[in-house]
Amino acid sequence: MPKSHRAGEKSESAEAASITAVSKEDLLAALAEHKNSLLADLNTSLNRIDGKLDCLQQSVDSHDSRLTSLEDNAESVDGRLEKLEACYLKVLTENEKLRTKVTDLEGRSRRSNVRLVGLPESIEGVQPTNFFAQLLQEVFGRDLFPSLPELDRAHRSLAPKPKPGDRPRPVMVCFHRFQQKELIMREARVRKTLVYQGHTFRLYEDYPSEVVTQRKVYKAVMSSLYELGLKPALLYPAKLRITQTNGTRKLFTSVDEAERYVEEVNKSV
């Protein structure tokens, strides 16, 4: 082979080797630069993440602190609520006792009173106390009252005066002697119908409104007991006593007890 041809081949090989060497250096440099760029971006991202994590940690710490504070306050509130509930129950119990005492005192203050229902308005004139004393003596007779019954006062109820044709107001009569009041009430229960100058009227005990409400709930069960041939009677303030056919007596302190008794009697019949 000629020398010139071999020299050309050597120069081409050297040039190719030079190109290859340059390309490797450039590639390594580019890789190094890219690596550095990635590391820089990674560090930047990590720094941002660290910042966000710090903020998140601060928020968590703040929430934890607030939750702890709320739990402490809740425990404090629970303690206060327990005390308030205990105080409420105590006040409720004491109030019920006081209401019972007030009702009892009011009932005792009315023991000598009776209510006359059915007499026309203004029939008593200007001296109601004298009028009703004479009325009671006339209706019940001189055998029961040789002299006029002693009345401390007598007046219509404090409701507004009714219009003509409306139901007249009841009359409140206070006896000076409790025994006379009891005598009249016993006689009224025997007679059932009382008449004065053609006017039919009735006598009732003067109970406090609370007692009236308590006694009213026995009305239906008492009707059932009458139908069964029993003899019910309401004792003060609101206890039901019945006399059975064999003469024995039973006492009920609630309507439920009396209703259960009526059901048992009906089943046995």
**For 168-211, what is each residue's pLDDT tens digit?**
999 999 999 999 999 999 999 999 889 999 999 999 999 999 99
Token output for 99: 């209401």
Closest C-alpha to 184, from 210, 219, 159, 148: 148
**162 Cβ partners below 8 Å, 6+ apart?**
121, 168, 169
- Answering whether pTM is above 0.85, one says no
Residue type, 24: K
Which residue type sits at 266? N
* Sequence-distant (≥ 6) Cβ neighbours of residue 222 within 8 angstroms: 232, 234, 240
Q: Which helix (H) or strand (E) holds 176?
A: none
Contact of 176 with 114, CB cutoff 8 Å: no
pLDDT digits (tens, 9 = 90+) for 72-129: 777 777 778 888 899 999 999 999 999 999 999 999 999 999 999 999 999 999 999 9
**How far from chain centre, in Å, is Cα 194?**
44
Average pLDDT, the chain: 87
Distances (CA, A) of 206 to 21, 43, 109, 235: 128, 97, 10, 14
Per-residue confidence band for 36, with pLDDT thresholds at 50, 70 and 90: confident
Containing H/E element for 89? helix 3-109
> Residue 22's pLDDT is what?
52
Name the band, by pLDDT with cuts 50, 70 and 90, for residue 51: confident
Question: How much is the pLDDT for 5?
Answer: 52
Give residue 141's pLDDT. 94
Q: Are the C-beta atoms of 220 and 240 separated by less than 8 Å?
A: no
CA distance 252 to 165: 41
Range 13-32 average pLDDT: 66
Does pLDDT of 130 surpass 90? yes
Q: How many angstroms separate the CA atoms of 79 and 73, rounded? A: 10
Judge whether 132 and 163 are in contact, CB under 8 Å. Answer: no
